[in-house]
Amino acid sequence: MNKYPLAGARSAPDGTTTFRLWAPFRKEVALVLPDQTLPMKAVAEGYWELTVTDIYPGARYLYLLDGALQRPDPASRWQPEGVHGPSAIPDETFVFTDQHWKGLAATELIIYEIHTGTFSAPGTFSGIREKLDYLKELGITAIELMPVAQFPGERNWGYDGVYPFAVQNSYGTPDDLKMLVNAAHALGIAVILDVVYNHQGPEGNYFYDYGPYFTGRYKTPWGDAINFDEPWCDGVRGFYLQNALMWLEEFHIDGLRLDAVHAFSDNSAIHFTQELSVAVKELEARTGMRKLLIGEIDLNNPRFIDPVEAGGYGLDAQWADEFHHALHSRLTGEQQGYYEDFGSIEHLRHAFENAYVYTGEYSVHRKRRFGRKPVNNPFHQFVVFAQNHDQIGNRMMGERLSVLLSFEALKLAAATVLLSPFIPLLFMGEEYGEKNPFLFFTSHGDADLIKAVREGRQQEFAHTGEAPDPQDTHTFAQSKLSWQTAEGHHAALLRYYKELLLLRKNTPALLNTAREATRVHHTNSEDLLVLERSKDAAALLIVFNAGITSHELSYTTYGKLRLLFDSAALAFNGPGTNTAVADDQPLMISPLSAVVYEIIAYEN
């Protein structure tokens, strides 16, 4: 038996299907089919197995535990009747046509985050597929899908999923997801999937009936932690490792975004994150396909992205939330909650220097010193953004920056992300200034859970007003993209994003993610952020003005300047540029603008 056997139902072309289940504490397990109940055989380390003939994709099944409980398969690949219904044998005959595709390096990523249910009118994988040409034209190189594991009902962010191997039935079938991946690869677009290995949702969570998937030793904000280091944890670690490998190999997914890695409580000699990264590198070597692991990590600890051979856990990249916080707080003026640690241009300078803002300094919000400098990590190991699902949707009214900022400030925010040396991530709709909110929504069926979620949401925002009801279908409907891209500021902003992305792709200095290739100039201005970015003899001067008045900047580095880009240009519905270059004269930088100059005859 393999170290971590693959659980679930796996069918063969000859009509046989092998069922494998991990249930170490059960004395009897039987497979329940529509017309018969068959006992399963206990094998090593808590697994049960049975091979059945003359059963085909689509057939429903359940497990009978100790003759008393009928439950769906924890490793179900398909739950056509939802979280409480029977599992179904998946059809595994889909044929990919992406043999040319080898994946993308982290340095090539321009990520576009999508919630499947609100991205298109139908709210399905097919709805995303129909927009791939649009995303290609925009300049996107990777889409990132918020979690698609089966959750209760039809409306959810996806972080309440309870069947990690099953594709959400309201989004489409497993084949629909494969068709999306296949179509994306045909256009040169990678697909990243958000997965949740730090907890499971409450409704439909029958894992407790099978074995010790969870531990009470640690707590997370969402309930019991996953059992990565307590007795019987091997079966649990194997379950999630096999889940990751399934998405990456069977669905041809190019990378995984790991939700809240800081909540992986694991005191094992080999941390689960490290074991996962090693397994994925082995998959890469075996298939010749590049696979990426990107963590959401609220620790400012580069150990998670350091190589395994250097004592790290081996993730390829991580989300850099503090870059967002520094940018958001400086442009909006908000300083409540975790934003109290931010607000000055100096915080944004630190973010450009280290990706992390706090690298050992005292954090007022955390009431302690926090973080460590990632001195050995290139900048393509950090994903940055001005907006994402968390930072929008965790606001009471789900406001996007298009509602919170002026048009010029909105363009400045975009430029700050896209001209950075980090991996940029856009949240669906931001490229044309979507005005519809992205709210928190659910469609639970459990009355007590519905009540608890509603009350929790109201308590969270009791000091600011009445939060929208997550269960109300209108809350979900409000969050759908409007796709108003053709007129006024919407059209201008879309042109602006396309121009910025084209500039990023075609300019060597903007593609260089080496730490030494980005220099941050510390000025006395609370409004100006000045960068020099270089690649060999090519170099750029980039100036961001976060103030509401124009600023002069005396440029003293060797070389003459040629204007390449100005966010205030009339072509982008701006007030017009006043950034002409004159010998021996200071540069004049427009309010709330981003300007890019080529440095001629640059000397390093």
Binding residues for substrate: 257-262, 321-325, 389-394
Cα atoms found within 13 Å of the Cα of residue 270, Cβ hemisphere only: 12
β-sheet bridge partners, residue 158: none
Task: Spell out the residues 6+ positions from residue 440 whose beta carbon is closer than 8 angstroms to its own.
Answer: 157, 393, 394, 398, 457, 467, 468, 470, 475
Contact 318/383 with Cβ under 8 angstroms?
yes
Q: Which amino acid is at 530?
A: V
Active site residue 296: yes
Cα 442 from Cα 485, distance rounded (Å): 28
- What is the C-alpha to C-alpha distance for residues 423 and 408, in angstroms, rounded to an integer? 23
Q: Are 7 and 22 in contact (CB under 8 A)?
A: yes
Q: In the annotation, is 259 catalytic? A: yes
Q: What type of residue is 249?
A: E
Residue 501 burial (CB count, 10 A): 20
Contact 226, 240 (CB under 8 A): yes
Instruction: Extract the annotated binding site.
Output: 257-262, 321-325, 389-394
Quickly tell me which residue has 């170099």 as its tokens.
539
Strand partners, 50: 19
Phi, psi dihedral angles at 519 (to 5 degrees): -110, 130
The β-bridge relationship of strands 317-319 and 382-384 is parallel
Q: Which helix (H) or strand (E) is 69 found in, with range?
A: strand 69-71
Helix, strand, coil abundance in the chain, percent, nearest 5: 30, 20, 50
Q: 268 - beta bridge partners? A: none
Out of 113, 160, 296, 566, the active site residue is: 296
Strands 362-363 and 368-369: antiparallel
Nearest in space to 486 (alpha carbons), one of 433, 445, 444, 534: 433
Rounded to a whole number of angstroms, the distance between the first and last alpha carbons of the chain is 58
Write out the DSSP string of 307-338.
-GGGTS---SEEE-HHHHHHHHHHHH---SGG
Strands (E), 379-509: 382-384, 423-427
Annotated catalytic residue, options 73, 203, 224, 259: 259
In 393-527, DSSP assigns E strands to 423-427, 518-521
Nearest in space to 289 (alpha carbons), one of 196, 380, 190: 190
* Residues tagged active-site: 259, 296
